[in-house]
Structure 1
Amino acid sequence: MQLLDKIIFLTGGSAGIGLECAKAYAHEGAKVVVVASNPGPVAEAAELLGPEHLGITCDVSKAADVEHAIKQTLEKYGRIDAIHNNAGIASPSKPLHETSDEEWQRLMDVNLKSVLYTTRYGFEALKGTKGSILNTSSLVGEIGQDNHAAYTATKGAMNTLTKSMALDYAQYHIRVNAVLPAGVWTPMLRKWSAEQVDPSSIEKYLDDIHPLGYCPEGDVIADACVFLLSEKARFITGTILPVSGGAELGYRSVR
């Protein structure tokens, strides 16, 4: 029970990596606040986790929504021990010059401005608990990716933001870290796969980019997140942790 009685505010917690994290956090004893934009999946996730947990419908790109969600959490539980900024979108899959203003702005608002809002409205609560912030980034924010410029820009920004936040908030004993998946089978990845020129080849491609030999499900990310939010990681901050099966290690011979 590494997270016993911790209150974890989890954005994007109703599907994919977020839902796997929600289940892992609950299994380790936390009370989880699942925050996402679609009310149906939010309600389903909350029901799956059980009555001690909370689901909140919230557009994380809107300040008023996030402020209200934080307020609801504090009204129910009285504190917040961790904020996990997991909400994100990955579309469109395009080079930069083909990306519209609207597509660019939507990516920036969901993937980055949401971190601004959860931090702005959750800071005092985290200060009170000497809590932690965890950001779900992506390996492509470190190494780049073809035909995905705007998305990789948001994740590169998230990585440097994580380090700056860690420095700013260390004085309050608030730890800030990020996890970097490579490929993980989620609804978002399946949507991205369908946008590619040859979707049928994507599964093999995603297996091959991981030296450990397969593209995982979200539970491998959740296990790392449990560790980073636990007391076992109490002296870790500003870390950008690849959970990638070695995908960042360099070129390999084709098998």
Structure 2
Amino acid sequence: MVLSNKVIVVTGGASGIGYECVKAYIGEGARVAVLDVQRETMERLSAKPGNADLYLPCDVSDETQVKTAIAQVERHYGRIDCIHNNAGIAAPAKPLHETTVGEWQALMQVNVFSIYLTTRCGLAALQQSKGCILNTSSMVGRIGQANHAVYTATKGAVDALTKSMALDYATYGIRVNAVAPAGVWTPLLREWAAEQPDTADIETYLDGIHPLGYCPEADVIADACVFLVSEKARFITGCILPVGGGAELGYKR
């Protein structure tokens, strides 16, 4: 098992890509702590055998809550080997001028500011373990997306942060990478699909943007994440790894 006895913190790990990563990490021998705002979901998951043994309710955009949660993880496990910054929101589906100040702030706080908080609070532990940081980005951070200006801006920021963090923390032996999916069937994407005016055609559209021919479930992202946080990727840092079935290559027609 490539993650045997590694301690991994996953933000937004109660559903979607985060939950698939939690399961994959545990399957490879890791001990996982989940930080998420979905308290009821985490309570249900904690009752199931084989899931993470530490579920911490945490708003990752709140400094006090993040500081408290990271300290709890360190007390519980005695170390941290990896922080996977996966928590994110995508709504609303609007152009920039229609986005409210509150919506702008929420997207920036959850998708970008949270990475600052977990890094500040967890860096000392990662220095001791010579661990790694993994950020969940998105292909739209590179190419843009209509009616999602602020969301795409946050993912562009994640990409830039990942590269600069990789340079800053290499001196400590800490690797920093990001995974960049295209479409992935998660609760977040299903919510987005329901908001679109052409919901009947959205599944065909999502299949079509991936040259491999289908929009995947989140387990394909989790497999890539296992690699990036493992010693198999020990000489990889600053990488924004596209996992989009070739979507990053361009449209098929």
Q: Is the 8 A contact 1:211 1:246 kept in 2?
A: yes
Q: Deviations over 1:71-105 (max 9, x none)?
A: 11011000000000000000000000100000000
Cα distance in 1 for residues equivalent to 2:49 and 2:71: 21
Matched letter for residue 43 of structure 1: E
**Residues 49 and 107 (structure 1), Cα distance of their counterparts in 2 relative to 1, 3 Å cut:** farther
1:205 is aligned to 2:187: no
Matched letter for residue 230 of structure 1: S
Q: Which residue of 2 aligns with 1:99?
A: 99
Q: Which residue of 2 aligns with 1:123?
A: 123
Q: Which residue of 1 aligns with 2:88?
A: 88
Q: Deviations over 1:132-188 (max 9, x none)?
A: 000000000001000100000000000000000000000000000000000000000
Q: Which residue of 2 aligns with 1:77?
A: 77
CA-based RMSD: 1.0
Q: Is the 8 A contact 2:9 2:34 kept in 1?
A: yes
Q: Deviations over 1:12-64 (max 9, x none)?
A: 00000000000000000000101100111112233335476210000001000
Unaligned runs of at least 5 residues, structure 1: none
Matched letter for residue 204 of structure 1: T
Q: Which residue of 1 aligns with 2:35?
A: 35
Matched letter for residue 234 of structure 2: R
Greater shift, 41-50 or 24-33, is seen at: 41-50
Q: Is the 8 A contact 2:26 2:51 kept in 1?
A: no
Greater shift, 44-53 or 204-213, is seen at: 44-53
**Residues 49 and 102 (structure 1), Cα distance of their counterparts in 2 relative to 1, 3 Å cut:** farther
**Residues 3 and 169 (structure 1), Cα distance of their counterparts in 2 relative to 1, 3 Å cut:** same
Greater shift, 33-42 or 122-131, is seen at: 33-42
Q: Which residue of 2 aligns with 1:108?
A: 108
The runs of at least 4 aligned residues of structure 1 exceeding 6 Å deviation read none
Unaligned runs of at least 5 residues, structure 2: none
Q: Is the 8 A contact 1:34 1:46 kept in 2?
A: no
Cα distance in 2 for residues equivalent to 1:6 and 1:124: 16
Q: Deviations over 1:183-242 (max 9, x none)?
A: 000000011111111111110000000000000000000000000000000000000000
Cα distance in 1 for residues equivalent to 2:49 and 2:212: 31
Q: Give TM-score, length-normalised by structure 2.
A: 0.98
Q: Which residue of 1 aligns with 2:14?
A: 14
Cα distance in 2 for residues equivalent to 1:139 and 1:18: 17
Q: Is the 8 A contact 1:107 1:151 kept in 2?
A: yes
Cα distance in 2 for residues equivalent to 1:75 and 1:135: 24
Q: Which residue of 2 aligns with 1:68?
A: 68
1:44 is aligned to 2:44: yes
Q: Which residue of 2 aligns with 1:146?
A: 146
**Residues 52 and 10 (structure 1), Cα distance of their counterparts in 2 relative to 1, 3 Å cut:** closer
Q: Which residue of 1 aligns with 2:236?
A: 236
Q: Is the 8 A contact 2:9 2:35 kept in 1?
A: yes
Cα distance in 2 for residues equivalent to 1:166 and 1:115: 13
Secondary structure in structure 2 of the residue aligned to 1:48: coil
**Residues 35 and 102 (structure 1), Cα distance of their counterparts in 2 relative to 1, 3 Å cut:** same
Secondary structure in structure 2 of the residue aligned to 1:133: strand
